[in-house]
């Protein structure tokens, strides 16, 4: 569980797949997009690259998906800056401070331990959180629907 009040979210998962395969799923723009929910990136991922794609989830296809890649260390670390929960096209978030997402990979037996940390939530202006949450209420639903579809499609 997440700590209730903090600037930071941390999630850890162990995957039954070698580090090279997990890195490929993270670092290749097309692979990343297929599980994350984005497509048509204009750039391949690399350090210092700002990659822009389109959101693939039904009802949100008009939206750009933008990540500003900071670190790109093969099979070890991928981090980017982005604006979380920006599903409202009428709300300009470009001038708000971004949050930072960092994926870290480590061996765990024959599998891979993946740690995701997102920080910077407290830098968001007061009131933004509530707005983000309301703006995203449909967003949480499409994520759940998307997993179901993915799992069904894979079986």
Q: CA-to-CA distance for 71 and 120, rounded, in angstroms?
A: 17
Smallest gap from residue 78 Cβ to another protein (A): 12
Residue 91 in contact with another protein, rule: CB under 8 A: no
Smallest gap from residue 142 Cβ to another protein (A): 10
> In b/e form, how buried is each residue of 20-57, taking b as 16+ CB within 10 angstroms?
eebbeebbebeebbeebbbeebeeebeeebebebbbbb
Is the separation of the CB atoms in 23 and 77 below 8 Å?
Answer: no
Residue 150 in contact with another protein, rule: CB under 8 A: yes
List residues binding another protein (CB under 8 A): 2, 4-9, 11, 13, 15-17, 21-22, 25-26, 31, 34-37, 84-85, 114, 116, 118, 121-123, 126-127, 129-130, 132-133, 136, 139-140, 143-144, 146-147, 150-151, 154
């Amino acid at each position: 569980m997440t700590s209730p009040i903090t600037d930071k979210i941390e999630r850890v998962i162990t995957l039954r797949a070698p580090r090279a395969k997990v890195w490929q799923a993270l670092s290749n723009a097309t692979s990343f997009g297929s599980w994350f929910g984005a497509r048509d990136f204009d750039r391949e991922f690399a350090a210092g690259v700002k990659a822009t794609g389109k959101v693939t989830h039904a009802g949100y296809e008009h939206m750009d998906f933008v990540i500003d890649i900071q670190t790109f260390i093969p099979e070890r670390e991928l981090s980017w800056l982005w604006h979380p929960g920006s599903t409202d096209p009428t709300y300009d978030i470009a001038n708000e401070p971004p949050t930072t997402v960092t994926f870290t990979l480590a061996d765990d037996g024959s599998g891979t331990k993946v740690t995701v940390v997102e920080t910077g939530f407290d830098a968001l202006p007061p009131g933004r959180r509530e707005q983000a949450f309301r703006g995203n209420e449909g967003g949480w639903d499409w994520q759940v629907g998307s997993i179901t579809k993915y799992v069904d499609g894979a079986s």
